[in-house]
Amino acid sequence: MNTMQDNAKQRNDRKQQWLKEHDGLCAVCHTGPFCPACHYGLEHKGGTCSPQPVNTYDHNHNRGTSHYGCKGCARCFRGVTHKVCNRGFLPIAERSAFLQSDYTREYLAKGYVDQSEEYMGRGR
């Protein structure tokens, strides 16, 4: 079966399993839900805390290293993150090697799919 055909239920099941195995902590910063305003000492919008959950499905979607059109199959899946880690830190870290710790480099390498394997039919 071509793993690129994973449906939303399969991706959600994978996400829930990952969260269970990692105690609900973010794959990037290793913390649970947190309020960014409290964390950074900023004023709350609307006056109330709004904790950011760990629920963003992260996969390697760099078209140069992943199979084209993949929406997060088992091979590309890296982990589950906070939205701010996924959309704030990771895009910067992917392009800036000097910001990468050994852990970040290892994390970003997860889900790498060799294009030559894909084109030769071995990446399935």
Write out pLDDT tens, residues 49-71. Answer: 889 999 999 988 665 555 666 77
Per-residue pLDDT tens for 9-46? 999 999 999 999 999 999 999 999 999 889 889 998 88
If one counts the domains in the chain, the total is 1
- The verdict on residue 47 lying in a domain is yes
pTM of the predicted model as reported, rounded to 2 decimal places: 0.77
Element (H, E) at 105: helix 102-109
User: How many helices (H) does the chain have, and how many strands (E)?
Assistant: 6, 2
- The verdict on residue 124 lying in a domain is no
Look up the domain containing 57 and give its range.
3-119
